[in-house]
Amino acid sequence: MMNVKVEMTEELVGYADQLMQAEQSRVGSSPITKENPYLSIEEAYRIQLYNIEQKIKLGQQITGKKIGLTSLAMQQSLGVDEPDYGHLLDNMIVENQDTISFNQVMQPRVEAEIAYVLKEDLSGPNVSTLDVLKATDYIVPALEIVDSRVKDWKITLSDTVADNASSGLYVLGNERFKVDAFNIKENGMALYRNGKLLNTGVGAAAMGDPAYCVAWLANELSEFGITLKAGEVILSGALSEAISAEKDDYFEARFANMGSIGVRFTS
């Protein structure tokens, strides 16, 4: 259970239920901000935390956190100047080179990132990049399958925050690496769909340094009294543009110094 008290109004509970119903029925919801254009980011995080708490009560477990909107292009598309974050749960895990049924997703997009797995807790508000490096057990290449419970991805920042930062599923590579094994900021990545190169990126694409993203997350979460826990997986942010997935698509991300990671979508 999360030891976080989330103050909810009847209106916010209604929006949380709306998103939960969309996830369970796999029928996209209208944007919350269409009903309430003045929904604040803080209220959106309350909705997110409320629904995470409901899922924990149903037996799901938190396995980590994800950071979204780390790239300038994604921030500009939503008219924001900072990233957001969401929670990872045990039912989101997909094994490397495994398959994902479209019954598990609604409107998936694939991103390639670096995942940090912690060996020590990180508690804000004064976490530094150096603190992150000291607290990290290892890093692995990762694929995040972002998804939206909002129909046609018609989202603002508040909509995606309320929707657990559009979290869907995630895949981790099999081989583990120490944070000082190579210069992660200069480490390159190439993302392929069905063997065709679609985009490339480097570690620095995530706000200049993926470890800085993790530090930012720890400090932001402190506002809700949440600590990044030892053993948690932290998805540090996409290194390039998210790519839409269709049935029978195979995605592979090839990382310099870290090998490759892949996943296939099925009907």
Choose among 123, 129, 152, 153: nearest CA to 222: 123
The residue to which tokens 């583990």 are assigned: 176
Choose among 164, 210, 162: nearest CA to 185: 210
CA 5/CA 8 separation, integer angstroms: 9
CA 139/CA 63 separation, integer angstroms: 15
Question: Which CATH entry fits the domain spanning 10-94+102-185+204-239: 3.30.70.2740, 3.40.50.300, 3.60.40.10, 3.90.850.10?
Answer: 3.90.850.10
| pLDDT for the residue 243 | 95
CA 56/CA 52 separation, integer angstroms: 6
Contact 142, 112 (CB under 8 A): yes
The residue extents of the domains of the chain are 10-94+102-185+204-239
| pLDDT for the residue 255 | 97
- Strands 233-238 and 62-68 come out as parallel
CA angle in degrees (0–180, nearest 5) for 162-3-237: 45
| pLDDT for the residue 1 | 47
| pLDDT for the residue 7 | 83
| pLDDT for the residue 5 | 61
pLDDT tens over the chain, length 267 residues: 455 667 899 999 999 999 999 999 999 999 999 999 999 999 999 999 999 999 999 999 999 999 998 877 667 767 777 789 999 999 999 999 999 999 999 999 999 999 999 999 999 999 999 999 999 999 999 999 999 999 999 999 999 999 999 999 999 999 999 999 999 999 999 999 999 999 999 999 888 999 999 999 999 999 888 999 999 999 999 999 899 999 999 999 999 999 999 999 998
pLDDT tens profile 39-70: 999 999 999 999 999 999 999 999 999 999 88
Residue 138 buriedness (CB in 10 A; 0-12 / 13-18 / 19+): middle
Contact 132, 210 (CB under 8 A): no
| pLDDT for the residue 70 | 83
